[in-house]
Amino acid sequence: MSKTLHKRSDFIKRSMLSALVFLKDATLSEEYANRKGFLQSLDPRIKTISLLAFLVTMISLKSAVLIGTLYGFCLILAFSSSIPIRHFLGRTLFFIPFFSLCIVLPTLFSTVTPGDPVCSFNVLGINGTLTRPGIDGALLFVVRIATSVSLVVLLSLTTRHSELLKVLRIFGIPYIFVLTVSMCYRYLYIFATMVENIFTAVKSRVGVVSHHRHGQNVVAWNIANTWNRTTQMSEEVYMAMLSRGYTGEPRLLSQFYATPKDWVWLLSSLIICAGLFYSGHIL
Amino acid sequence: MSNIIFELKDVHYSYMGKFPALCGIDMTIRSGEKIAVIGANGTGKSTLLQLLDGLIFPDQGNMTAFGERLLEHSHDDEKAAHRFRKRVGLVFQNADIQLFCPSVREDIAFGPLQLGVAEKEVKRRILEIAQVLDIQHLLDRVPHQLSIGEKRRVAIASVLAIDPDVYLFDEPTAGLDPLTVRHIIDFIVTANQRGKTIITATHDLHIIGEIADTVYVFGRNKRIVSGGSSESVLNDNPLLELNNLIHIHRHQHDGQEHVHKHLPLEEH
Ligand SMILES: Nc1ncnc2c1ncn2[C@@H]1O[C@H](COP(=O)(O)OP(=O)(O)OP(=O)(O)O)[C@@H](O)[C@H]1O
Ligand SMILES: [Mg+2]
């Protein structure tokens, strides 16, 4: 067995595991939603409505400066909700606008968007001319995407999945859907832990899985095993629900309370929206 | 008028028709009794509790609960199901299974809400129970991220919220620290004094004296090998030894070999 192969399979295994742990911690553990901060303290319904209002206002705006202001406001919100700015920027600024840049890149040029030339260049015999409307349009597009992504990320980072799902109730989504999906989240977490534990257990019993064929078998066996456990678990959970009186129509606690603080926040966000709208469309 | 709650006559149960778990159980449980079911791993204790909770049904034999025969379709009617669920509550061996809601608060609320208790009353119960079990600080936590002992207390809270007449506990003290064990024993004893019927499955012989008046020993043949008052069973060493509930311990004192029996968790 060559050493490099061993190293490589070990690397794959390690990165698989760390991906799993990352997934578990980042998306399922709801770390930021459990922190204390401004957005976390709001009633999820009010929070969703206000962020939606910002989103709608933003879409109606055509000035990159105004949208940029809103983006700055998002950063303030992130900061006051104990989300580290670096993490927040990582989630919003870099990836998605990067892709959108790829989409808008062609519109920068005179061939696609005619207008005042800003600068011209010649690469490998291809003439390109950047136009002012082209640059403005692209800038607007990127700021727009960054801001809308920020608003959505703010909502999803500071709200528990289960609460977010419950907010769907406002739009008439049935309880059974809410319960099922929130249970899925919960058991995804348990399965992630289970797979992690199985890996550790296998490793402690057979040592390092050095032969990658053997490694594949272990993975295949694990998938079968996890599947078996999953089906058994779902039966048991169903029993646990039956045992506490479930008869097919779940009833859940409605535990949202809007406090005066929520109403003040809702009012101020509507005023901000109106202000932005006014300066964008009437001034 | 008899006060018999459960009556089992020659009850058999096997999983998927292949794996026998109970082979001819006879048992009578009366209102207000404290009962322990002990036995080695895999002797059918959990299966018995699920049977008593109306989650599975005998393959053979006869079982009545509250004077009515318990059959596969007894709970198809929502009213009948709710009537039964209000009277019997099971604390599962695996708290991860039992707690399926997104927050502790909702898990405690789940039972009473399904059973039609008004939301205001449910909220009152949550606060009261949280205080009794000392889990106020956990109410807004996610159940699956708690420690085993915390999960166990939340699981008990979720059943306590239903306020059933009969409590079924499956290994309530396994893997818990002494203080938490103490709390759970106290809880069981108080509930019994308030008239609740308690049936506990356990390996922990230490707690039996307190949590049970009557003890049934399950053997490897998946039947009851002995039953009686807790003192008589606890003093029957050959019986306990034969059923893997105590082990013989050999060690040396001052160069002299010394043999004694002791309970699994007793200090050597
Ligand atoms: N889901 C299942 N499928 C198949 N067989 C099962 C299942 N659950 C339990 N059994 C079998 O039924 C028998 C009794 O199991 P049970 O869980 O009731 O034992 P127990 O006394 O509770 O054990 P423990 O002390 O380990 O909790 C065992 O032989 C077990 O292998
Ligand atoms: Mg068991």
CATH of the domain at B157: 3.40.50.300
Helices vs. strands in chain A: H and E counts, helices first? 10, 2
Asked if B220 and B243 count as a contact pair (C-beta separation under 8 A), the reply is yes
Asked if B6 and B54 count as a contact pair (C-beta separation under 8 A), the reply is no
- Chain B positions in Cβ-Cβ contact with residue A254 (cut-off 8 Å): 119
Q: Which atom of ligand 1 is nearest to the CA of B45?
A: 21
Cβ separation B100–A240 shorter than 8 A: yes
B67 or A228, higher pLDDT: B67
Assess if residue A245 is contained within a domain. yes
CA B44–ligand 2 middle distance (angstroms): 7
Across chain B, what does the average pLDDT equal? 87
Q: State the Cα–Cα distance between residues B203 and B235, nearest whole angstrom.
A: 16
Give the per-residue pLDDT at B16: 87
- Chain B positions in Cβ-Cβ contact with residue A240 (cut-off 8 Å): 92, 97-98, 100
Asked if A71 and A146 count as a contact pair (C-beta separation under 8 A), the reply is yes
Specify whether the backbone of B60 is left (phi greater than 0), alpha (psi in -120 to 50) or beta: beta
Give the per-residue pLDDT at B194: 93
Q: Which residue has the tokens 């200090």?
A: B267
pLDDT tens per residue, range A249-271: 777 776 677 788 889 999 999 99
What integer is the mean pLDDT of B155-174?
93
Core vs surface per residue A77-86: b (16+ CB within 10 A) or e: bbeebebeee
Q: Which residue has the tokens 């032969």?
A: A211
What is residue A45's three-state secondary structure?
helix
Q: What percent of chain A has pLDDT over 70?
A: 61
- Chain A positions in Cβ-Cβ contact with residue B105 (cut-off 8 Å): 253, 255
Assess if residue B165 is contained within a domain. yes
Long-range pairs of A224-229 with CB within 8 A, sequence gap ≥ 24: A225/A198, A226/A191, A226/A194, A226/A195, A226/A198, A229/A194
pLDDT tens per residue, range A179-201: 777 677 666 766 777 777 777 77
Assess if residue B14 is contained within a domain. no
Q: Which residue has the tokens 């207000």?
A: B32
Assess if residue A132 is contained within a domain. yes
- B127 touching A, CB under 8 A? no
At residue A118 the predicted structure's pLDDT band, cuts being 50, 70 and 90, is low
What 3 state SS string does chain B have? CCCEEEEEEEEEEEECCCEEEEEEEEEEEECCCEEEEEECCCCCHHHHHHHHCCCCCCCEEEEEECCEECCCCCCCCHHHHHHHHHHEEEECCCHHHHCCCCCHHHHHHHHHHHCCCCHHHHHHHHHHHHHHCCCHHHCCCCHHHCCHHHHHHHHHHHHHCCCCCEEEEECCCCCCCHHHHHHHHHHHHHHHHCCCEEEEEECCHHHHHHHCCEEEEECCCCCEEEEEEHHHHHCCHHHHHHCCCCEEEEEEECCEEEEEEECCCCCC
Assess if residue B70 is contained within a domain. no
Specify whether the backbone of A254 is left (phi greater than 0), alpha (psi in -120 to 50) or beta: beta
Assess if residue A259 is contained within a domain. no
From B210, B207, B213, B212, select the one nearest B245 (Cα to Cα): B207
Give the per-residue pLDDT at B197: 95
Assess if residue A15 is contained within a domain. no
pLDDT tens per residue, range A154-175: 888 888 777 777 777 777 777 6
**Helix axes B178-193 and B148-160, enclosed angle (nearest 10):** 10
B126 or B180, higher pLDDT: B126
CA B48–ligand 1 middle distance (angstroms): 10
**What is the total count of domains within chain B?**
1
Cβ separation B102–A160 shorter than 8 A: yes
What integer is the mean pLDDT of B176-199?
91
Nearest by CB to residue B106, choosing from A189, A246, A252, is A252
Q: State the Cα–Cα distance between residues B36 and B31, nearest whole angstrom.
A: 14
Residue B233 clears pLDDT 90, i.e. is over it: no
CA B45–ligand 1 middle distance (angstroms): 8
ipTM over 0.90: no
Assess if residue A74 is contained within a domain. yes
**What is the total count of domains within chain A?**
1
pLDDT tens per residue, range A8-44: 556 555 666 666 665 565 555 577 887 888 988 888 8
Across chain A, what does the average pLDDT equal? 75
Q: How many CB atoms lie within 10 A of CB B24?
A: 15
B12, B13, B45, B93, best to mutate for ligand 1 pocket (most atoms within 8 Å of CB): B45
Give the per-residue pLDDT at A270: 92
Give the per-residue pLDDT at B47: 94
From B64, B140, B61, B66, select the one nearest B106 (Cα to Cα): B140
Determine the residue type at A248: G
Q: What residues are in contact with ligand 1 under a 6 Å CB criterion?
A: B 15, 19, 21, 39, 41-47, 93
Specify whether the backbone of B255 is left (phi greater than 0), alpha (psi in -120 to 50) or beta: left
Q: B24 is written with which tokens?
A: 């001819």
Global pTM value: 0.72
Residue B8 clears pLDDT 80, i.e. is over it: yes
Give the per-residue pLDDT at A1: 43
Cβ separation B100–A160 shorter than 8 A: no
From A37, A57, A39, select the one nearest A48 (Cα to Cα): A39
pLDDT tens per residue, range B189-224: 999 999 999 999 998 888 998 999 999 999 988 988
Nearest CA in chain A to B140: A34
pLDDT tens per residue, range B68-120: 888 888 777 888 889 999 999 999 999 888 888 878 998 999 999 999 899 89
Residue B169 clears pLDDT 80, i.e. is over it: yes
Beta bridge partners of A131: A117
Core vs surface per residue A196-210: b (16+ CB within 10 A) or e: eebbeebeeeeeebe
Assess if residue B92 is contained within a domain. yes
Residue A280 clears pLDDT 50, i.e. is over it: yes
Assess if residue A27 is contained within a domain. yes
Residue A7 clears pLDDT 60, i.e. is over it: no
Most confident segment among A22-26, A117-121, A165-169, B59-63: B59-63
**Helix axes B78-87 and B104-114, enclosed angle (nearest 10):** 120
**Helix axes A260-281 and A64-80, enclosed angle (nearest 10):** 160
A–B CB contacts, 8 A cutoff, strictly below? 86
Assess if residue B6 is contained within a domain. no
Closest Cα to atom 4 of ligand 1: B15
Give the per-residue pLDDT at B58: 92
Give the per-residue pLDDT at A90: 78
Give the per-residue pLDDT at B143: 87
What integer is the mean pLDDT of B152-168?
94
**Inter-CA distances, B81 with B14, B54, B116, B158, Å:** 24, 9, 12, 18
Q: How many CB atoms lie within 10 A of CB A175?
A: 14
A27-41, A123-137, B140-154: the lowest-pLDDT one: A123-137
Asked if A276 and A66 count as a contact pair (C-beta separation under 8 A), the reply is yes
Closest Cα to atom 27 of ligand 1: B41
**Inter-CA distances, A124 with A108, A113, A139, B47, Å:** 19, 22, 26, 78
- A205 touching B, CB under 8 A? no
- B22 touching A, CB under 8 A? no
Residue A218 clears pLDDT 80, i.e. is over it: no
Assess if residue A148 is contained within a domain. yes
Cβ separation B106–A161 shorter than 8 A: no
Give the per-residue pLDDT at A109: 63
Nearest by CB to residue B82, choosing from A182, A190, A245, is A245
Sheet strand arrangement including B68-69: B19-30, B4-15, B60-65, B68-69
Assess if residue A223 is contained within a domain. yes
- Identify the sign of the CA torsion A190, B180, B178, A233: negative
- Residues spanned by the domain of B159: 33-49+78-245
Closest ligand to C-alpha of residue B92 is 2
Cβ separation B89–A243 shorter than 8 A: yes
- How many CA atoms, within 13 angstroms, populate the side-chain half-sphere of residue A225? 12
What is residue A122's three-state secondary structure?
strand
- Residues spanned by the domain of A273: 22-252+265-282
